[in-house]
C-alpha cells in the first residue's frame, strides 16, 4: 500500500510519522512546495525506523507528483495555517486555490486514490477537492469529526478522571463554532455521560470543544498539529486495513438528514472503498435545529467559494 501526504508542515509531517510508526502502509510519500522540506522530514522519519522498529519507507519530494503515482490514499494538509485573530473562513480564497491545484495533480497520477482533506476551512476545502476531482463522494472526505470528538473525549476524561479509552462520542455538522456535539450519544464504558456529569459542566466542555482549535491558536500562535495529524492517520488506517470503523467524517450529503448538496460531518462506516455507508441518526428537534444552523453556516462559505471561482 502507498499513501501520499501533501504538505510537509506540522500536520502533514505528524500524519506521515504516525503512518510510518504504525506501519499502516509500505511507503509514505511526503510532498511540499518548499525545496528540500519534505525530503528532510521524510529522511528524519526514516532514520527513526531502526529506533522505533518499523519498516515503512518514507520518501520526500518537492512538487513532483509523479513520485506519488498509484497512491491508494492521499491526505491533503496543504494551505495556510490560522493566525491569531483569523477565522477559518478568512482562509478560503488562498487555500481553495491550493487545494484545487493539489487535487488536480493527485487525480492525474492516482486516479483510483481515496482523498482525505485536512486543510481549513475544512468543510469547504472538502467541497473544493470533490468538485475538482470529479470522484464519487465516497472517495473524497474531510477530517474534522475525529479531531473534534477526540478533544471532546479528552476534556471529558479530564473532568471525570477516567481513561479517554473508555469514552465514545459522536459530533456532527461543520468543523468550527457551529459543530453539533451529541451528549446523549456520549458514553463512558457504556454508561451515558449524562449520568456521570452535571449539565453545567457538560455544557462547558461542549463549548470548549467548539472552540478547541481557537484555544490552541491563542496558546501557540498557530494551529494544532499532533491531534489533527494523528486523526488523519487514523482515517487512513481504517481505509487501508478495511477496518470498517465508525467515525464522524465530512462528506457531501445527498438527502441524508434532509440536507442536499452541503458538506457536513456525519457518522459513517470507513473501509477499503472509502465511505462504505452514511449512518443516519434519529435526531431530536433541538439537535436538528443545531444541525440546520451548521448547515446554513457551511452553505454560506460554499457560496463564497462559488463566487470567488465565478469572478476568476
Q: Would you list which residues are annotated within the binding site for NAD(+)?
A: 7-12, 32, 95, 118-120
DSSP state for residue 188 in the 8-state scheme: E
Q: Would you list which residues are annotated within the binding site?
A: 7-12, 32, 82, 88, 95, 118-120, 151
300, burial (CB in 10 Å: exposed 0-12, middle 13-18, buried 19+): exposed
**Is 297 a known active-site residue?**
no
Positive/negative CA dihedral, 219, 222, 226, 228? positive
C-alpha cell at 203: 455544557
Q: Work out the end-to-end distance of the chain between its first and last CA atoms, rounded to an integer number of angstroms.
A: 38
| Helix and strand numbers, DSSP H then E, in the chain | 10, 14
SS3 30: strand
Whether 170 and 279 have beta carbons less than 8 Å apart is answered as no
Q: Would you list which residues are annotated within the binding site for substrate?
A: 82, 88, 120, 151
Exactly one of 109, 130, 175, 297 is catalytic; name it: 175
Radius of gyration of the chain (CA): 19
Q: Calculate the CA dihedral of residues 301, 91, 76, 264 and round it to 10 degrees.
A: -20
Positions marked catalytic: 175
Amino acid at each position: 500500500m502507498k499513501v501520499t501526504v501533501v504538505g510537509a508542515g506540522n500536520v502533514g509531517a505528524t500524519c506521515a510519522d504516525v503512518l510510518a510508526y504504525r506501519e499502516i502502509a509500505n511507503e509514505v510519500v511526503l510532498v511540499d512546495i518548499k525545496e528540500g522540506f519534505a525530503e528532510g522530514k521524510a529522511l528524519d522519519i526514516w532514520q527513526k525506523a531502526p529506533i522505533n522498529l518499523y519498516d515503512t519507507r518514507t520518501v520526500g519530494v518537492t512538487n513532483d507528483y509523479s513520485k506519488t503515482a498509484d497512491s491508494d490514499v492521499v491526505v491533503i494538509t496543504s494551505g495556510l495555517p490560522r493566525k491569531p485573530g483569523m477565522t477559518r473562513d478568512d482562509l478560503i480564497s488562498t487555500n481553495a486555490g491550493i487545494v484545487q491545484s493539489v487535487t488536480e495533480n493527485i487525480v492525474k497520477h492516482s486516479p483510483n486514490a481515496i482523498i482525505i482533506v485536512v486543510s481549513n476551512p475544512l468543510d469547504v476545502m472538502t467541497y473544493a477537492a470533490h468538485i475538482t476531482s470529479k470522484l464519487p463522494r465516497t472517495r473524497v472526505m474531510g477530517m474534522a469529526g475525529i479531531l473534534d470528538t477526540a478533544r471532546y473525549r479528552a476534556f471529558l476524561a479530564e473532568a471525570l478522571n477516567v481513561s479517554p479509552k473508555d469514552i465514545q462520542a459522536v459530533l456532527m455538522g461543520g468543523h468550527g463554532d457551529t459543530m453539533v456535539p451529541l451528549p446523549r450519544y456520549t458514553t463512558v464504558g457504556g454508561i451515558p455521560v449524562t449520568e456521570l456529569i452535571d449539565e453545567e459542566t457538560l455544557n462547558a466542555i461542549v463549548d470548549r470543544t467548539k472552540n478547541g482549535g481557537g484555544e490552541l491558536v491563542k496558546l501557540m500562535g498557530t494551529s494544532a498539529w499532533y491531534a489533527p495529524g494523528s486523526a488523519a492517520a487514523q482515517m487512513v488506517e481504517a481505509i487501508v486495513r478495511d477496518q470498517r470503523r465508525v467515525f464522524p467524517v465530512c462528506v457531501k450529503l445527498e438527502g441524508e438528514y434532509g440536507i442536499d448538496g452541503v458538506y457536513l460531518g456525519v457518522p459513517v462506516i470507513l473501509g477499503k472503498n472509502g465511505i462504505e455507508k452514511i449512518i443516519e441518526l434519529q435526531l431530536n428537534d433541538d439537535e436538528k435545529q443545531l444541525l440546520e444552523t451548521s448547515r446554513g453556516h457551511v452553505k454560506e462559505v460554499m457560496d463564497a467559494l462559488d463566487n470567488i471561482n465565478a469572478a476568476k
